[in-house]
DNA sequence: TTCCAGGCAGTAG
DNA sequence: CTACTGCATGGA
């Protein structure tokens, strides 16, 4: 890491494409928790409780990160770097995964067409869980609209050039809401109950990223997550993949995953669970990345 | 009109 | 154990 004023450069060695990552972030859903302006990303991030706006641009085999709205301290820059490394999964060496793609009968196209795509994470576990609840069983466009309403009503924000940038709401705040507050935002009664219940667990300290990470293996982590009302197998796997960056997760039942597999395998209906398991078998230890690359086949330009 | 979206819990048999 | 149902909304 190089420090210079309010900037930091993060090296991106190996299989990495800023364009592919940017393309994922800007795939047409109007996310309210970051903004894409040309070739740069603007991401609000709380650093030691301080509202910070990060600007991320592509550098020379690196990401150039700048603080837009505030003076950067050295610990602040280190926290910003840690967040971005996690967000873009920069510590991962993808060569073994690309080797598996190249050995597969149907998938070598992925390493060419999606070269450098990373598993873009959701480092905040509370945000990841809420996002899953919101996204369950509705189309993604509507899910993004619901998330925006939640964030704009209950999150804090910071203004920069007279435009607001939002932070995801704190669990302590959402824990105090009534179901009708969220129903007013077009949440279903169940989704409102689930989000408030999860917020309470975080607010009380009975659930945290650290406590989940302390579990000895994947099945213990899944077990803890599925105890939560509103969290099933799909959500638990999605969260382990996107927030804890586990590499061995398959969100069974995911409609996008089913559609991608049906298309690639030429099935006329959705694959059975056994068919999914069989397809993923050669990718042991890289299941999460295969999921990301299968989802990538669903978006327009190939 | 009906069906289905990046599911899940509750209930009945 | 499996099968079925309601949930909110909107686009196909």
- The string of pLDDT tens digits covering residues A62-90 is 999 999 998 888 899 999 999 999 999 99
Instruction: State the Cα–Cα distance between residues A220 and A246, nearest whole angstrom.
Output: 13
pLDDT under 70: residue ranges of chain A: 1-5, 300-302
Does any strand B atom come closer than 7 Å to the Cβ of A138? yes
Q: Which residues contact A137 (CB under 8 A, 6 or more apart)?
A: none
Q: Mind listing the pLDDT tens digit for each residue in A87-103?
A: 999 999 999 999 999 99
pLDDT of residue A13: 86
Three-class DSSP category at A184:
coil
Q: Which nucleotides of B are covered by protein (CB under 7 A)?
A: 4-10
Q: Is A89 a catalytic residue?
A: no
Three-class DSSP category at A263:
helix
Catalytic residue among A30, A31, A91, A254: A254
Instruction: State the Cα–Cα distance between residues A231 and A215, nearest whole angstrom.
Output: 17
pLDDT of residue A1: 47
Q: Which residue, counting CA atoms, is nearest to the C1' of nucleotide C10? A: A142
pLDDT of residue A3: 47
pLDDT of residue A10: 97
Instruction: State the Cα–Cα distance between residues A260 and A127, nearest whole angstrom.
Output: 26
Residues β-bridged to residue A36: A41
Does any strand B atom come closer than 7 Å to the Cβ of A135? yes
Using C1' positions and the CA of A29, the closest nucleotide is B6
pLDDT of residue A2: 44
Does any strand B atom come closer than 7 Å to the Cβ of A6? no
Does any strand B atom come closer than 7 Å to the Cβ of A233? yes
> Within 154-183 of chain A, which residues have Cβ less than 7 Å from strand B?
none
Q: Which nucleotides of C are covered by protein (CB under 7 A)?
A: 6-11
Using C1' positions and the CA of A194, the closest nucleotide is B8
pLDDT of residue A42: 98
C1' (C4) to CA (A246) span, angstroms: 34
C1' (B13) to CA (A176) span, angstroms: 39
Does any strand B atom come closer than 7 Å to the Cβ of A136? yes
C1' (B12) to CA (A252) span, angstroms: 25
pLDDT of residue A175: 98
């Amino acid at each position: 890491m190089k420090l210079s004023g309010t900037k930091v450069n993060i090296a991106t060695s190996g299989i990495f494409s800023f364009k592919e990552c940017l393309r994922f972030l800007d795939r047409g859903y109007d996310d309210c928790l970051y903004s894409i302006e040309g070739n740069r990303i603007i991401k609000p991030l709380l650093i030691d409780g301080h509202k910070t706006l990060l600007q991320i641009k592509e550098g020379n085999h690196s990401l150039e990160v700048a603080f837009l709205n505030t003076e950067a301290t050295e610990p602040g820059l280190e926290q910003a770097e840690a967040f971005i490394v996690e967000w873009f999964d920069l510590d991962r060496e993808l060569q073994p995964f690309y080797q598996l793609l190249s050995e597969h009968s149907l998938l070598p196209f992925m390493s060419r067409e999606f070269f450098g795509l990373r598993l873009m994470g959701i480092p905040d576990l509370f945000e990841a869980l809420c996002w899953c609840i919101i996204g369950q069983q509705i189309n993604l466009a509507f899910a993004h609209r619901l998330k925006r309403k939640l964030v704009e009503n209950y999150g804090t924000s910071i203004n920069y050039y007279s435009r607001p940038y939002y932070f995801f709401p704190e669990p302590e705040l959402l824990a105090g809401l009534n179901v009708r507050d969220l129903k007013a935002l077009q949440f279903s009664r169940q989704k409102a109950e689930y989000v408030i219940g999860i917020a309470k667990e975080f607010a009380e300290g009975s659930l945290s990223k650290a406590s989940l990470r302390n579990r000895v293996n994947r099945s213990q982590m899944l077990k803890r997550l599925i105890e939560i009302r509103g969290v099933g197998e799909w959500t638990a796997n999605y969260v382990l993949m996107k927030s804890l960056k586990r590499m061995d997760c398959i969100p069974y039942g995911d409609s996008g995953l089913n559609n991608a597999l049906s298309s690639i395998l030429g099935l006329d209906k959705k694959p059975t669970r056994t068919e999914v398991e069989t397809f993923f078998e050669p990718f042991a230890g890289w299941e999460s990345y295969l999921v990301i690359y299968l989802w990538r086949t669903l978006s327009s330009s190939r």
